[in-house]
Each structure stands twice: as C-alpha cells, then as structure tokens.
Amino acid sequence: MKVDLKNAVVVITGASSGIGEATALAFARQGSRLVIAARDLDALNAVAEDCQRMGGEAIAVETDVTDADAVKRLAERAMTFGRIDIWVSNVGVGAVGRFQETPIEAHEQVIRANLIGHMNDAHAVLPIFLQQGYGIFVNMISLGGFAAAPFATAYSASKFGLRGFSEALRAELADQRNIHICDIYPAFVDTPGISHGANYVGRKMSAPPPLVDPRDVANAIVGVTQAPRATTTVGSVTNAARLAHLLAPNLSTRILGRFMASYFKRADRVAQSSGNAFAPPSEPGGIDGGMRSPNRLTSHPIMFAMLAIAAMAGGAAAAEAFRRRHR
C-alpha cells in the first residue's frame, strides 16, 4: 500500500533540531498531520509553528524516549487523530572520547537513547500498526550501523544493535504485508548534533566532508514512506564505508581510528562536557550544523581510503578464489 501523505498522521521523535526538524518540515509541506516529540518543549513549539506555516498540522509533545511510559503516552496523544500512519524514530546522541576516559554513565545514556529509545518507540506503535493492519516505522540508524566508530564506542554499540533490532523485527513481521520497518543510513550529516554531543576528549568536534544536507536525509525519509524498503543509504561515504567494512573490517576500522586520533591532536582545545546526553542543549540549533562551506573540500581522504580498502580486499578475494579454482 501507499500512504497518502496529505492528512497522514506522522509521529517524529527527536524533532527539535537537525534531521528531525527537517523531516517535520518536509512532511508539513505534504500537508501531513504531525505529532513531534523531543525533550525541549520550547524548541518543539517553534518547529510546530514552522510546520503550520508550511501547511501541515502539528502538535508538540515533550517526550524523553528513554522513558517507555512517556513514549506510550506520546502514541496515545497521536491516536487522538484516530490512527498513526508513520512513525519516524529519530533520536540520537553521542559521546566522544576514549572508552576508559568516558564516564560509564555517558556510555549507558547513549545506549538508552539510541537503542532502548528506538525500541520504546517500536513497542508503543507496533500494537497500533497491527490493529490497523498497516503502518511504516522509519528507523534512523547511520553510517555507524555498518562501520564502527573508534572514540565513540557506545555510539557504535547502539547503532550496530539498532541494525540488528530492525532486522529481527522485520523477520517477525514478515507476514504483515502492509507493515514496514525501514532503516535510514546517512553518512556524516551537517547538524547541530555533532557540536551538541558529549565531549570527553576536550577537542573541538567536526566531521569530514562531504557532509550531507539534513534536508536530503529528510527527503529520503519521505521517499521511503512512498516506496518502503528495508535499507536506504544517504551519501557516498556510507556506501564506501559499508563495502570496506564488509571486505576488510579490521583494516578499515584501524584506519578510521588513526584518522580520529590524528584529528584530535590537531583540533582546538575545548572544555569537556556531557553535552546533550542527559539534558537538551541550551540552544536547539536549528537544522544545520554550520560545517558545510564552499571552502571545504567536497571529498575527503577517508572516503578514498575506504574505497581503496574495498578494492584491495575485493581484489585479494578474487585472486584467492582464482587460485583455488586452478590449483
């Protein structure tokens, strides 16, 4: 089935900034009825007003997705429209630092938000989808679901876990033709989330180009609701890293780890902070992170390194297969 986005009821968690805000506006342009959620009610109200100006109807609901009861209340609030057509599970936080130098409480909070929070979302809405006989659950994962991120170990654990959760859930729902679990894997995205994250290295955070525009991710989310599929990647780096990790996981992760360690040695010093791990940022930041610039390169050695690893690993595998066939 194809969901008619005009008047469709769409729930979006993590909607106060970044990809979530861009996604809310993208659905609002389609005339959808939105129930947007995050911890910062003031920021949500501002996004809701923008959605209404775009032609959508929007309700802001203060919600911490790590609280299962709060997420169930969010679903109940959305059901005042009579149904839920689409649920975008978008919350994501990070904590950057060497594993042993990052407080265990920060690691735990990343897992709670990025993994348990998404499970809470699904647990609240799936009974509704099953009763309706249809629904689309969009799971925001990231490049980190395919390739580990050194210096962000809990983030890696949460994203690998989230991918496994989605795959298992799809298998359980295989006989439900009109219920879809759709995963989105963007590359590095230019959102405020990078600067808002917990920082335990004391160095300024950034991300390597090419950076993805959050609006491109939002458009991918809207697109997948019209043609549901299990996996959608956004950005060339995701596909390069996915292939490199498939063919040479240890080598690709070591290269990324060395790059990160080198970057932290050169980056400007900043104060360590728990960022938005335990509370909303003091300023929501809007959609863009401000890291894209015409003066920055449009490609980066990381992507070329990943492609080179994939090519070498693929060539080695092909050579080994040829040798075995002809020995």
For each of the chain's 327 residues, which pLDDT tens digit applies?
Answer: 678 999 999 999 999 999 999 999 999 999 999 999 999 999 999 999 999 999 999 999 999 999 999 999 999 999 999 999 999 999 999 999 999 999 999 999 999 999 999 999 999 999 999 999 999 999 999 999 998 889 999 999 999 999 999 999 999 999 999 999 999 999 999 999 888 999 999 998 888 778 999 999 999 999 999 999 999 999 988 888 888 788 888 887 888 788 788 888 888 999 999 999 999 988 877 999 888 765 444 444 444 454 455 444 444 444 444 456 666
Are 196 and 281 within 8 A, CB to CB? yes
pTM, whole model, 2 decimals? 0.89
Amino acid found at 232 = T
Q: What CA–CA distance (Å, rounded) separates 14 from 106? A: 19
Q: How many CB atoms lie within 10 A of CB 31?
A: 15
Q: Would you state the pLDDT for residue 78? A: 98
Are 56 and 29 within 8 A, CB to CB? yes
Q: Would you state the pLDDT for residue 49? A: 97
**Tokens in use for 207?**
């991300």
Q: Would you state the pLDDT for residue 263? A: 80
Q: How many CB atoms lie within 10 A of CB 270?
A: 13
* Phi and psi, residue 59, nearest 5°: -120, 130
User: What domains are there in the chain, each with its CATH number?
Assistant: 9-235+271-289 (3.40.50.720)
**Residue partners of 28: CB distance under 8 A and separation at least 6:** 34, 50, 51, 52, 54, 55, 56, 58
- Catalytic positions are 155
